[in-house]
């Protein structure tokens, strides 16, 4: 989609079925794990999006044999070390790729440059760099200290114990260190301990990391959320085949359609057996009055008809564990029976855009009465809806969650709808197939 904007017709109902695209979080972890593992891995269900394309391109650039076998399928041949020792790598605005690749390259005894889009250069990475350099890596800033772009040189990383990293900015820093810990342990023939300093945010994303490491043969011992131990004999071995489950963050928009458009809306690819924390968004929908049915790999929602004046129940909730799906809840607040408050969402400030500022601004355009602070957002439904051109800030989730605003009485225009290509390139086609007017 290359249009500058998309006008969404007023929506009255939503029903139908859809197969979810693969999880971004799982896809990029699996690609890196497959590259670092002994053996060849056949990956199916792989997300086809901007974020996974830059990861695939980076692995190829580093000499990893990757063969794509049609949409959503690829074979990756693992290597003990990246064959290419000098490269200038562009990773767009893919935080999952940038943080984990920074850690992996720090162990490869090469000379690399990592860069991204301008917004990526505004997203902090200092806590990860500090942890890597404390291990003996040589990671330097090419611009503003604490932020990309980065130069990664030929350091001498050692399995110093414990490795410490701050946990209150991004869980991706801990994920990156955990992913490389088996390489450190093997090189030093000793266990590696990673300790989190302060409170760890977005814990379910660490659960994804640990689950996938186990699929590749490495079991991490965890003491609460503060201490993680990787054994001295840890080594990644390919599971031969792995299926990427559907994206639970993307599921939030589909489920929300059923919650406000009557439903039923059913999707396959993610269900009660999901390893993704964002599947917990179904609890938010239930608390707001939606009915959710579920199976091992499917979810279905039914709800109110907001176009007919029915309302969801208001909420006041802590969204620290599901910050991405929380954006969907913020837009659903437009249809609540009172003010809704989202707490503990400070991580929104350092995502693809400052999401607290962006959500405050765009919800207010529609007539919502909005207040916000460093880590919270309060949304009261509009007393009088206003037509709005919704800015998306080059943020895929802004575009997708504000599609839900079309169930209100105002005219809604989504600016730069093509930004959904980051994780869900066909979102608006899927949306149109579910919604009726």
Residue 191 exposed, middle or buried by CB count within 10 Å (0-12, 13-18, 19+) = middle
* 67-101 burial: b if 16+ Cβ within 10 Å, else e: eeeeebebebebbeebeeeebebbbbbbbbbbbbb
Known catalytic residues are 324
CB within 8 A of 307, min separation 6: which ones?
10, 11, 12, 13, 261, 407
Task: Report d(CA 69, CA 74) in Å as an integer.
Answer: 5
d(CA 189, CA 35): 21
As a dihedral over the C-alpha atoms of residue 245, residue 247, residue 249, residue 254, rounded to 10 degrees, the angle is -110
Q: How many residues does the chain have?
A: 437
Task: Quickly count: other Cβ atoms within 10 Å of residue 223's Cβ.
Answer: 10
Partners of 67 in the beta sheet? 75
End-to-end CA distance of the chain: 22
C-alpha to C-alpha distance for 33 and 274, rounded to whole angstroms:
19
Question: Is the CB of residue 204 less than 8 Å from the CB of residue 198?
Answer: no
146-168 burial code (b ≥16 CB/10 A, e <16)? ebbbbebeebebebeeebbbbbe
């Amino acid at each position: 989609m290359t249009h500058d904007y998309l006008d969404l017709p007023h929506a009255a109902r939503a029903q139908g079925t859809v197969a979810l695209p693969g999880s971004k979080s799982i896809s990029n972890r699996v690609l890196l794990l497959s590259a670092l593992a002994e053996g060849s891995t056949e990956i199916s269900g792989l997300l086809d999006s901007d974020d996974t394309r830059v990861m695939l391109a980076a692995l190829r650039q580093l000499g990893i044999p990757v063969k794509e076998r049609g949409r959503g399928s690829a074979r990756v041949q693992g290597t003990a070390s990246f064959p290419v020792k000098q490269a200038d790598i562009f990773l767009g605005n893919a935080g999952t790729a940038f943080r984990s690749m920074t850690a992996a390259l720090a162990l490869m005894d090469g000379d690399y440059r990592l860069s991204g889009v301008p917004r990526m250069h505004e997203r902090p990475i200092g806590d990860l760099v500090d942890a890597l350099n404390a291990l003996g890596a040589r990671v330097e800033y090419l611009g503003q200290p604490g932020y990309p772009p980065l130069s990664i040189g030929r350091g001498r990383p050692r399995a110093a114990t414990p490795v410490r990293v701050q946990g209150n900015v991004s869980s991706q820093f801990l994920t990156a260190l955990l992913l490389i810990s088996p390489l450190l342990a093997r090189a030093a023939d000793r266990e590696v301990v990673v300790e989190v300093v302060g409170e760890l945010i977005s814990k379910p994303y660490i659960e994804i990391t640990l689950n996938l490491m186990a699929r590749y043969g490495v079991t991490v011992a965890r003491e609460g959320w503060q201490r993680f131990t990787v054994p001295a004999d840890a080594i990644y071995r390919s599971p031969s085949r792995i299926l990427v489950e559907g994206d639970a963050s993307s599921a939030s928009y589909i489920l929300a359609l059923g919650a406000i458009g009557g439903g039923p809306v059913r999707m396959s690819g993610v269900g009660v057996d999901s390893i993704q924390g964002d599947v917990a968004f179904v609890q938010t929908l239930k608390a707001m009055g939606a009915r959710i049915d579920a199976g091992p790999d499917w979810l279905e929602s039914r709800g109110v008809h907001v176009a007919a004046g029915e309302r969801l129940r208001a909420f006041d909730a802590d969204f620290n564990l599901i910050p991405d799906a929380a954006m969907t809840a913020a837009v659903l607040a437009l249809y609540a029976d009172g003010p809704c408050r989202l707490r503990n969402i400070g991580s929104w400030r350092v995502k693809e855009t400052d999401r607290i500022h962006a959500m405050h601004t765009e919800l207010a355009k529609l007539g919502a009465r909005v207040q916000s602070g460093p880590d919270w957002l309060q949304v009261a439904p509009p007393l009088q809806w206003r037509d709005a051109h919704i800015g998306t800030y080059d943020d895929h989730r802004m575009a997708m969650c504000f599609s839900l605003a079309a169930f209100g009485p105002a005219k809604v225009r989504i600016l730069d709808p093509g930004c959904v290509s980051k994780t869900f390139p066909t979102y608006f086609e899927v949306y149109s197939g579910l919604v009726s007017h």
